[in-house]
Amino acid sequence: MKIAFPTQVDAGADSVVYGHFGTANLFLIVDTDSGAFIPAGNRDLNHQHGNCRPLAALGGNSVDAVVVGGIGGGALRHLNEAGIRVYRGAEGTVAENLVLFNNGKLSEFTMNQTCSGHKGLDGCHH
């Protein structure tokens, strides 16, 4: 299984899971079968708010799931339509969230949990 974790910097397993899918600098893709950590830059970073293209953001990398702190409704819908499940990550590192994911402790995002807007440039309102 391949899981994408949005982050701001590549610190491997110690990377902090970022709070918003569309504005993450990169995605750390974890291949749970091989144990590999693959960084992939966000190829849709400069999109207009509400127009995130999540599959473009992932740069063509195939993933089965995304673990993130927050995500917009459009991005969630596009990922789900592509068969990618999106889970609400806890604060902390990729390693910590991977343990939670593997133990079934992360819930799947629903549309009523998506980001409803941004306050300037300081993040989203979950």
CA dihedral over 58, 31, 36, 4, signed as positive or negative: positive
Residues 6+ apart with CB under 8 A from 103: none
Q: Residues 19, 65, 115, CA angle at the centre, nearest 5°?
A: 35
Quickly state the pLDDT bin for 90 (edges 50, 70, 90). confident
CB neighbours (10 Å) of residue 80? Answer: 15
Helix (H) or strand (E) holding 98: helix 94-102
Q: Give 1's DSSP letter.
A: -
Q: Would you state the pLDDT for residue 34?
A: 95
Q: Would you state the pLDDT for residue 118?
A: 46
Looking at every residue in the chain, the average pLDDT score rounds to: 85
Question: Domains, the chain, ranges and CATH?
Answer: 2-113 (3.30.420.130)
> What is the spatial distance between Cα 96 and Cα 90, in angstroms, rounded to a whole number?
8
CA distances from 22 to 16, 17, 33, 74, 99 (A): 16, 13, 26, 10, 24
* 117 touches 125 (CB < 8 A): yes
**DSSP 3-state of 78:** helix
Whether pLDDT at 61 is above 70: yes
Q: Would you state the pLDDT for residue 74?
A: 83
Q: Would you state the pLDDT for residue 40?
A: 92
